[in-house]
Amino acid sequence: MTRENTIPRWFDGSDNMHRTARAIAKYGPVAQAPLAQLEGLTSGTLSRIVGDLEELDVVVEGGEDGFGEGDGGERRGRPQTLLQLNRQAATAIGMKVTGDEIVATAIDFGGDAVTAAYRRQIVDRQPDAVVALIVGLVDDCERELALRSLPRPVGVGVAFGGHVVDGSVVDYAPFLHWNDPVDVGAVVFERTGLPCAAFNDVNSLAFMESWFGEGHGLGSLAVVTVGAGIGYSLTARGELVDGSNASYGLAAHVPLDSRGPLCTAGHVGCSQCLTDESLATQYSELRGTAETFDDFVRDARDNVPQATLLANRICFRIGTLVAAIANLAMPEKVVLSGESAFVAKFDAESVREGIAQFRHTQAAPVDFAVVDHPASDWARAAATRVIGEYLR
Ligand SMILES: [Zn+2]
Protein backbone atom coordinates (compact mmCIF):
# COMPACT_ATOMS: atom_id res chain seq x y z
CA MET A 1 0.00 0.00 0.00
CA THR A 2 1.43 3.39 -0.92
CA ARG A 3 1.77 5.96 1.82
CA GLU A 4 -1.14 8.02 0.55
CA ASN A 5 -3.51 5.09 0.17
CA THR A 6 -4.05 4.41 3.86
CA ILE A 7 -7.37 4.37 5.64
CA PRO A 8 -6.90 7.22 8.14
CA ARG A 9 -7.19 6.82 11.89
CA TRP A 10 -10.38 8.28 13.29
CA PHE A 11 -8.74 10.64 15.80
CA ASP A 12 -5.45 11.63 17.36
CA GLY A 13 -5.07 10.36 20.88
CA SER A 14 -3.24 8.05 23.25
CA ASP A 15 -2.98 4.29 22.75
CA ASN A 16 -5.41 3.84 25.64
CA MET A 17 -7.94 6.06 23.89
CA HIS A 18 -7.67 4.04 20.69
CA ARG A 19 -7.84 0.72 22.54
CA THR A 20 -10.89 1.87 24.51
CA ALA A 21 -12.74 3.09 21.40
CA ARG A 22 -12.00 -0.24 19.71
CA ALA A 23 -13.26 -2.18 22.75
CA ILE A 24 -16.49 -0.14 22.81
CA ALA A 25 -16.96 -0.92 19.10
CA LYS A 26 -16.50 -4.64 19.79
CA TYR A 27 -18.43 -4.98 23.04
CA GLY A 28 -20.83 -2.04 23.11
CA PRO A 29 -23.32 -1.22 24.43
CA VAL A 30 -21.11 -1.75 27.47
CA ALA A 31 -20.98 -0.25 30.96
CA GLN A 32 -17.83 1.41 32.27
CA ALA A 33 -17.14 -1.16 35.03
CA PRO A 34 -16.70 -4.24 32.79
CA LEU A 35 -14.93 -2.08 30.20
CA ALA A 36 -12.35 -0.93 32.76
CA GLN A 37 -11.83 -4.57 33.74
CA LEU A 38 -11.44 -5.66 30.12
CA GLU A 39 -8.90 -2.96 29.36
CA GLY A 40 -7.07 -3.19 32.67
CA LEU A 41 -7.68 0.48 33.45
CA THR A 42 -8.71 2.12 36.72
CA SER A 43 -12.23 3.51 36.72
CA GLY A 44 -10.81 7.05 37.02
CA THR A 45 -8.58 6.65 33.97
CA LEU A 46 -11.39 5.07 31.97
CA SER A 47 -13.80 7.88 32.92
CA ARG A 48 -11.36 10.48 31.61
CA ILE A 49 -10.83 8.53 28.37
CA VAL A 50 -14.58 8.06 27.86
CA GLY A 51 -15.07 11.79 28.43
CA ASP A 52 -12.50 12.55 25.74
CA LEU A 53 -14.09 10.06 23.33
CA GLU A 54 -17.53 11.59 23.91
CA GLU A 55 -16.07 15.02 23.31
CA LEU A 56 -14.81 13.77 19.92
CA ASP A 57 -18.25 12.24 19.12
CA VAL A 58 -16.58 8.84 18.76
CA VAL A 59 -18.58 7.32 21.61
CA VAL A 60 -22.15 8.03 22.71
CA GLU A 61 -24.27 6.91 25.65
CA GLY A 62 -27.22 4.62 25.07
CA GLY A 63 -28.25 1.11 24.16
CA GLU A 64 -29.70 -1.81 26.07
CA ASP A 65 -28.80 -5.37 27.00
CA GLY A 66 -25.14 -4.60 26.78
CA PHE A 67 -22.17 -6.82 27.36
CA GLY A 68 -21.49 -7.06 31.09
CA GLU A 69 -25.01 -6.10 32.03
CA GLY A 70 -25.74 -7.08 35.61
CA ASP A 71 -22.11 -6.59 36.64
CA GLY A 72 -21.31 -4.06 39.28
CA GLY A 73 -21.79 -5.98 42.54
CA GLU A 74 -22.89 -3.61 45.29
CA ARG A 75 -23.93 -1.02 42.71
CA ARG A 76 -26.71 -3.33 41.54
CA GLY A 77 -30.00 -1.49 41.23
CA ARG A 78 -28.50 1.77 40.06
CA PRO A 79 -29.05 2.47 36.38
CA GLN A 80 -25.84 1.96 34.44
CA THR A 81 -24.79 4.21 31.62
CA LEU A 82 -23.97 2.10 28.61
CA LEU A 83 -21.47 3.22 26.01
CA GLN A 84 -21.49 2.52 22.32
CA LEU A 85 -19.77 3.65 19.18
CA ASN A 86 -21.36 6.66 17.50
CA ARG A 87 -22.84 4.77 14.56
CA GLN A 88 -23.84 7.97 12.76
CA ALA A 89 -20.31 9.37 12.83
CA ALA A 90 -19.22 8.05 9.45
CA THR A 91 -19.81 5.49 6.72
CA ALA A 92 -17.71 2.93 4.87
CA ILE A 93 -18.10 1.20 1.51
CA GLY A 94 -17.58 -2.54 1.15
CA MET A 95 -17.75 -4.98 -1.70
CA LYS A 96 -17.31 -8.65 -2.41
CA VAL A 97 -15.75 -9.88 -5.65
CA THR A 98 -16.56 -13.41 -6.82
CA GLY A 99 -15.71 -15.11 -10.11
CA ASP A 100 -18.72 -13.65 -11.88
CA GLU A 101 -20.17 -10.79 -9.84
CA ILE A 102 -19.31 -7.85 -7.59
CA VAL A 103 -21.75 -6.68 -4.91
CA ALA A 104 -21.25 -3.38 -3.07
CA THR A 105 -22.96 -1.51 -0.26
CA ALA A 106 -22.24 1.23 2.28
CA ILE A 107 -22.66 0.82 6.05
CA ASP A 108 -22.87 3.02 9.11
CA PHE A 109 -20.58 2.48 12.09
CA GLY A 110 -23.06 0.09 13.64
CA GLY A 111 -22.34 -2.31 10.79
CA ASP A 112 -25.75 -1.88 9.12
CA ALA A 113 -26.25 -1.17 5.42
CA VAL A 114 -27.35 2.42 4.70
CA THR A 115 -27.54 2.16 0.90
CA ALA A 116 -28.92 -0.37 -1.53
CA ALA A 117 -26.73 -3.29 -2.60
CA TYR A 118 -25.32 -2.55 -6.06
CA ARG A 119 -24.29 -5.34 -8.41
CA ARG A 120 -22.14 -5.68 -11.52
CA GLN A 121 -21.70 -8.85 -13.54
CA ILE A 122 -18.10 -9.73 -14.35
CA VAL A 123 -17.93 -10.51 -18.05
CA ASP A 124 -14.18 -9.93 -18.45
CA ARG A 125 -12.01 -11.20 -15.57
CA GLN A 126 -8.93 -9.18 -16.61
CA PRO A 127 -7.72 -7.04 -13.67
CA ASP A 128 -8.34 -3.74 -15.52
CA ALA A 129 -11.93 -4.69 -16.27
CA VAL A 130 -12.64 -5.88 -12.72
CA VAL A 131 -11.11 -2.75 -11.17
CA ALA A 132 -13.20 -0.58 -13.51
CA LEU A 133 -16.33 -2.27 -12.14
CA ILE A 134 -15.15 -1.65 -8.56
CA VAL A 135 -14.65 2.05 -9.35
CA GLY A 136 -18.15 2.25 -10.84
CA LEU A 137 -19.63 0.66 -7.72
CA VAL A 138 -17.81 3.14 -5.47
CA ASP A 139 -19.52 5.90 -7.49
CA ASP A 140 -22.93 4.24 -7.05
CA CYS A 141 -22.54 4.02 -3.27
CA GLU A 142 -21.12 7.54 -2.94
CA ARG A 143 -23.97 8.99 -4.98
CA GLU A 144 -26.62 7.38 -2.77
CA LEU A 145 -24.81 8.45 0.42
CA ALA A 146 -24.80 12.04 -0.87
CA LEU A 147 -28.49 11.85 -1.84
CA ARG A 148 -29.32 10.68 1.68
CA SER A 149 -27.11 13.41 3.20
CA LEU A 150 -25.06 10.74 4.98
CA PRO A 151 -21.40 11.24 5.90
CA ARG A 152 -18.80 10.68 3.19
CA PRO A 153 -17.21 7.20 3.45
CA VAL A 154 -13.87 6.99 5.23
CA GLY A 155 -12.68 4.29 2.86
CA VAL A 156 -13.45 1.33 0.64
CA GLY A 157 -12.92 -2.34 1.54
CA VAL A 158 -12.88 -4.93 -1.24
CA ALA A 159 -13.07 -8.61 -0.29
CA PHE A 160 -11.72 -11.42 -2.46
CA GLY A 161 -11.68 -15.18 -2.16
CA GLY A 162 -7.92 -15.47 -2.07
CA HIS A 163 -4.83 -13.93 -0.56
CA VAL A 164 -3.99 -10.27 -0.03
CA VAL A 165 -0.65 -8.73 0.96
CA ASP A 166 -0.06 -5.30 2.51
CA GLY A 167 -3.82 -4.80 2.77
CA SER A 168 -3.92 -3.80 -0.90
CA VAL A 169 -2.32 -6.28 -3.32
CA VAL A 170 -4.27 -9.36 -4.39
CA ASP A 171 -1.64 -12.02 -5.12
CA TYR A 172 -3.84 -15.13 -5.20
CA ALA A 173 -7.39 -15.05 -6.57
CA PRO A 174 -8.29 -18.52 -7.88
CA PHE A 175 -11.86 -17.60 -8.84
CA LEU A 176 -10.65 -14.72 -11.03
CA HIS A 177 -7.72 -16.67 -12.56
CA TRP A 178 -5.34 -13.74 -12.05
CA ASN A 179 -1.76 -14.78 -12.75
CA ASP A 180 0.08 -11.74 -11.40
CA PRO A 181 -0.35 -9.68 -8.23
CA VAL A 182 -2.78 -6.77 -8.67
CA ASP A 183 -2.60 -3.67 -6.45
CA VAL A 184 -6.35 -3.21 -6.29
CA GLY A 185 -6.20 -0.73 -3.40
CA ALA A 186 -3.78 1.63 -5.15
CA VAL A 187 -5.72 1.73 -8.42
CA VAL A 188 -9.10 2.27 -6.75
CA PHE A 189 -7.59 5.01 -4.56
CA GLU A 190 -6.05 6.72 -7.58
CA ARG A 191 -9.34 6.70 -9.48
CA THR A 192 -11.81 7.50 -6.68
CA GLY A 193 -9.76 9.52 -4.19
CA LEU A 194 -11.01 7.24 -1.43
CA PRO A 195 -8.51 5.14 0.54
CA CYS A 196 -9.05 1.52 -0.49
CA ALA A 197 -7.96 -1.72 1.16
CA ALA A 198 -8.31 -5.30 -0.06
CA PHE A 199 -9.15 -8.17 2.29
CA ASN A 200 -9.73 -11.90 2.30
CA ASP A 201 -13.48 -12.55 2.18
CA VAL A 202 -13.81 -15.24 4.88
CA ASN A 203 -11.64 -13.26 7.30
CA SER A 204 -13.90 -10.27 6.66
CA LEU A 205 -17.00 -12.32 7.40
CA ALA A 206 -15.48 -13.58 10.66
CA PHE A 207 -14.54 -10.00 11.59
CA MET A 208 -18.07 -8.71 10.92
CA GLU A 209 -19.64 -11.56 12.90
CA SER A 210 -17.28 -10.89 15.82
CA TRP A 211 -17.98 -7.17 16.03
CA PHE A 212 -21.59 -6.92 14.88
CA GLY A 213 -23.08 -10.41 14.58
CA GLU A 214 -23.13 -13.93 16.03
CA GLY A 215 -19.86 -13.46 17.89
CA HIS A 216 -20.60 -10.02 19.36
CA GLY A 217 -19.25 -9.88 22.91
CA LEU A 218 -17.81 -13.41 22.76
CA GLY A 219 -14.19 -14.21 23.54
CA SER A 220 -13.70 -16.18 20.33
CA LEU A 221 -15.53 -17.22 17.18
CA ALA A 222 -14.81 -19.68 14.37
CA VAL A 223 -16.38 -19.26 10.93
CA VAL A 224 -16.38 -22.06 8.39
CA THR A 225 -17.83 -21.58 4.91
CA VAL A 226 -18.95 -24.17 2.38
CA GLY A 227 -19.67 -23.62 -1.29
CA ALA A 228 -17.30 -23.66 -4.25
CA GLY A 229 -14.52 -24.12 -1.68
CA ILE A 230 -14.09 -24.51 2.07
CA GLY A 231 -13.20 -21.36 4.02
CA TYR A 232 -12.18 -20.99 7.65
CA SER A 233 -11.34 -18.12 9.94
CA LEU A 234 -10.95 -17.58 13.66
CA THR A 235 -11.19 -14.52 15.89
CA ALA A 236 -10.13 -14.05 19.50
CA ARG A 237 -11.40 -11.03 21.48
CA GLY A 238 -12.71 -9.61 18.23
CA GLU A 239 -9.38 -9.77 16.39
CA LEU A 240 -8.46 -12.12 13.54
CA VAL A 241 -6.09 -14.93 14.47
CA ASP A 242 -3.21 -15.11 11.95
CA GLY A 243 -5.36 -13.64 9.20
CA SER A 244 -2.79 -14.02 6.44
CA ASN A 245 -2.44 -17.79 6.53
CA ALA A 246 -6.15 -18.30 7.07
CA SER A 247 -6.83 -17.03 3.55
CA TYR A 248 -5.11 -20.10 2.08
CA GLY A 249 -8.08 -22.24 3.12
CA LEU A 250 -6.54 -24.09 6.07
CA ALA A 251 -9.67 -26.21 6.61
CA ALA A 252 -9.87 -27.28 2.96
CA HIS A 253 -8.50 -30.83 3.48
CA VAL A 254 -9.44 -31.89 7.02
CA PRO A 255 -10.06 -35.69 7.20
CA LEU A 256 -13.77 -36.27 7.88
CA ASP A 257 -14.90 -39.68 6.65
CA SER A 258 -12.79 -42.78 5.98
CA ARG A 259 -15.47 -43.94 3.53
CA GLY A 260 -15.76 -40.59 1.78
CA PRO A 261 -14.76 -39.74 -1.80
CA LEU A 262 -11.23 -39.11 -3.04
CA CYS A 263 -10.17 -35.46 -3.50
CA THR A 264 -7.83 -34.18 -6.22
CA ALA A 265 -4.96 -34.19 -3.71
CA GLY A 266 -5.52 -37.91 -3.08
CA HIS A 267 -7.14 -37.70 0.38
CA VAL A 268 -10.02 -40.00 1.25
CA GLY A 269 -13.08 -38.20 2.64
CA CYS A 270 -11.40 -34.86 3.41
CA SER A 271 -13.44 -31.66 3.74
CA GLN A 272 -13.34 -31.19 -0.05
CA CYS A 273 -16.25 -33.67 0.00
CA LEU A 274 -18.43 -30.74 1.20
CA THR A 275 -17.85 -28.56 -1.88
CA ASP A 276 -20.60 -28.06 -4.48
CA GLU A 277 -18.54 -29.82 -7.15
CA SER A 278 -17.89 -32.86 -4.97
CA LEU A 279 -21.56 -33.04 -3.99
CA ALA A 280 -22.50 -33.09 -7.68
CA THR A 281 -20.03 -35.94 -8.28
CA GLN A 282 -21.20 -37.92 -5.25
CA TYR A 283 -24.83 -37.45 -6.24
CA SER A 284 -24.11 -38.49 -9.83
CA GLU A 285 -22.52 -41.71 -8.55
CA LEU A 286 -25.51 -42.48 -6.32
CA ARG A 287 -27.94 -41.85 -9.17
CA GLY A 288 -25.88 -43.44 -11.93
CA THR A 289 -26.47 -40.37 -14.13
CA ALA A 290 -24.83 -36.96 -14.51
CA GLU A 291 -26.32 -34.67 -11.84
CA THR A 292 -25.49 -31.12 -10.79
CA PHE A 293 -25.33 -29.58 -7.33
CA ASP A 294 -28.66 -27.87 -8.04
CA ASP A 295 -30.18 -31.26 -8.97
CA PHE A 296 -29.06 -32.61 -5.60
CA VAL A 297 -30.57 -29.65 -3.74
CA ARG A 298 -33.87 -29.91 -5.59
CA ASP A 299 -34.09 -33.68 -5.04
CA ALA A 300 -33.16 -33.38 -1.36
CA ARG A 301 -36.05 -30.94 -0.92
CA ASP A 302 -38.32 -33.40 -2.80
CA ASN A 303 -37.19 -36.28 -0.55
CA VAL A 304 -35.70 -38.33 -3.40
CA PRO A 305 -34.14 -41.28 -1.49
CA GLN A 306 -30.59 -41.00 -2.91
CA ALA A 307 -30.58 -37.25 -2.23
CA THR A 308 -31.79 -37.83 1.32
CA LEU A 309 -29.05 -40.43 1.84
CA LEU A 310 -26.37 -38.03 0.57
CA ALA A 311 -27.79 -35.17 2.66
CA ASN A 312 -27.57 -37.37 5.78
CA ARG A 313 -23.93 -38.23 5.03
CA ILE A 314 -22.99 -34.64 4.24
CA CYS A 315 -24.65 -33.31 7.39
CA PHE A 316 -22.83 -35.89 9.52
CA ARG A 317 -19.53 -34.83 7.91
CA ILE A 318 -20.34 -31.16 8.54
CA GLY A 319 -20.88 -32.09 12.19
CA THR A 320 -17.51 -33.88 12.18
CA LEU A 321 -15.79 -30.75 10.83
CA VAL A 322 -17.54 -28.54 13.40
CA ALA A 323 -16.44 -30.90 16.19
CA ALA A 324 -12.82 -30.85 14.95
CA ILE A 325 -12.81 -27.04 14.93
CA ALA A 326 -14.54 -26.83 18.33
CA ASN A 327 -12.14 -29.37 19.88
CA LEU A 328 -8.88 -27.97 18.52
CA ALA A 329 -9.44 -24.20 18.29
CA MET A 330 -11.83 -24.05 21.29
CA PRO A 331 -13.92 -21.12 20.04
CA GLU A 332 -16.95 -20.07 22.08
CA LYS A 333 -19.09 -20.43 18.98
CA VAL A 334 -18.87 -21.92 15.49
CA VAL A 335 -20.74 -20.29 12.60
CA LEU A 336 -21.33 -22.21 9.38
CA SER A 337 -21.86 -19.96 6.38
CA GLY A 338 -21.15 -19.84 2.66
CA GLU A 339 -23.45 -20.20 -0.32
CA SER A 340 -24.14 -23.91 0.41
CA ALA A 341 -24.46 -23.67 4.22
CA PHE A 342 -28.20 -24.28 3.88
CA VAL A 343 -27.35 -27.95 3.17
CA ALA A 344 -26.68 -28.30 6.92
CA LYS A 345 -30.37 -27.58 7.52
CA PHE A 346 -31.46 -30.61 5.46
CA ASP A 347 -30.68 -32.88 8.39
CA ALA A 348 -29.89 -31.02 11.61
CA GLU A 349 -30.02 -34.30 13.55
CA SER A 350 -27.12 -35.77 11.54
CA VAL A 351 -25.11 -32.58 12.10
CA ARG A 352 -25.67 -32.99 15.86
CA GLU A 353 -24.72 -36.69 15.65
CA GLY A 354 -21.55 -35.80 13.73
CA ILE A 355 -20.59 -33.30 16.43
CA ALA A 356 -21.45 -35.71 19.27
CA GLN A 357 -19.44 -38.55 17.72
CA PHE A 358 -16.21 -36.54 18.05
CA ARG A 359 -16.89 -34.51 21.19
CA HIS A 360 -16.25 -35.72 24.74
CA THR A 361 -19.60 -36.34 26.44
CA GLN A 362 -18.61 -34.14 29.37
CA ALA A 363 -17.29 -31.28 27.25
CA ALA A 364 -19.62 -28.29 26.94
CA PRO A 365 -22.04 -28.57 24.01
CA VAL A 366 -20.78 -26.82 20.88
CA ASP A 367 -22.52 -23.49 20.32
CA PHE A 368 -23.16 -23.76 16.60
CA ALA A 369 -25.22 -21.70 14.15
CA VAL A 370 -25.94 -21.91 10.44
CA VAL A 371 -26.14 -18.38 9.04
CA ASP A 372 -27.23 -17.58 5.49
CA HIS A 373 -25.25 -14.57 4.34
CA PRO A 374 -26.57 -13.07 1.11
CA ALA A 375 -23.95 -11.46 -1.15
CA SER A 376 -24.75 -8.04 0.34
CA ASP A 377 -23.66 -9.34 3.78
CA TRP A 378 -20.25 -10.27 2.35
CA ALA A 379 -20.01 -6.70 1.01
CA ARG A 380 -20.97 -5.36 4.45
CA ALA A 381 -18.26 -7.55 5.95
CA ALA A 382 -15.59 -5.89 3.79
CA ALA A 383 -16.86 -2.49 4.94
CA THR A 384 -16.60 -3.50 8.61
CA ARG A 385 -12.87 -4.13 8.03
CA VAL A 386 -12.60 -0.46 7.03
CA ILE A 387 -14.14 0.48 10.40
CA GLY A 388 -11.59 -1.82 12.03
CA GLU A 389 -8.77 0.04 10.26
CA TYR A 390 -10.26 3.45 11.07
CA LEU A 391 -10.27 2.43 14.75
CA ARG A 392 -6.80 0.86 14.84
ZN1 LIG B 1 -8.20 -33.39 0.27
Q: Note the pLDDT tens digit of each residue in 222-258.
A: 999 999 999 999 999 999 997 667 777 889 999 999 9
267 C-alpha vs ligand 1 centroid, how far in Å? 4
Q: Report how far ligand 1's centroid is from the alpha carbon of 272 (Å).
A: 6
Domain with CATH 1.10.10.10 in the chain: 15-85
pLDDT more than 70, % of the chain: 94
Q: How far is the CA of 318 from the centre of ligand 1 (A)?
A: 15
pLDDT single digits (tens) 33-89: 999 999 999 999 999 999 999 999 999 998 654 444 444 444 455 567 899 999 999
- Ligand 1 centroid–CA 264 distance in Å is 7
Instruction: For residue 188, report the distance from its CA to the centre of ligand 1, in Å.
Output: 36
| Domain with residues 218-370, CATH architecture | 2-Layer Sandwich (3.30)
Distance 266 CA to ligand 1 centre (A): 6
CA of 225 to the centre of ligand 1 (A): 16
**pLDDT < 70: residue spans in the chain:** 1-3, 63-79, 243-244
The 10s digit of each residue's pLDDT in 87-107 is 999 999 999 999 999 999 999
What confidence score (pLDDT) does residue 74 get?
45
Q: Which fold has domain 15-85?
A: Arc Repressor Mutant, subunit A (1.10.10)
What pLDDT does 3 receive?
A: 55
Q: Ligand 1 centroid vs 332 CA: distance in angstroms?
A: 27
Going from the Cα of 237 to the center of ligand 1, the distance in angstroms, rounded, reads: 31
Does the domain at 91-206+376-390 match CATH 3.20.20.70? Answer given as no
Q: How far is the CA of 209 from the centre of ligand 1 (A)?
A: 28
In the chain, CATH 3.30.420.40 sits at 91-206+376-390, 218-370
ipTM of the complex: 0.99
pLDDT of 68 reads 47
Cα(228) to ligand 1 centroid in Å equals: 14
**Where does residue 88 rank: exposed (0-12), middle (13-18), buried (19+ CB within 10 A)?**
middle
**Which pLDDT score, from 0 to 100, does residue 379 have?**
98
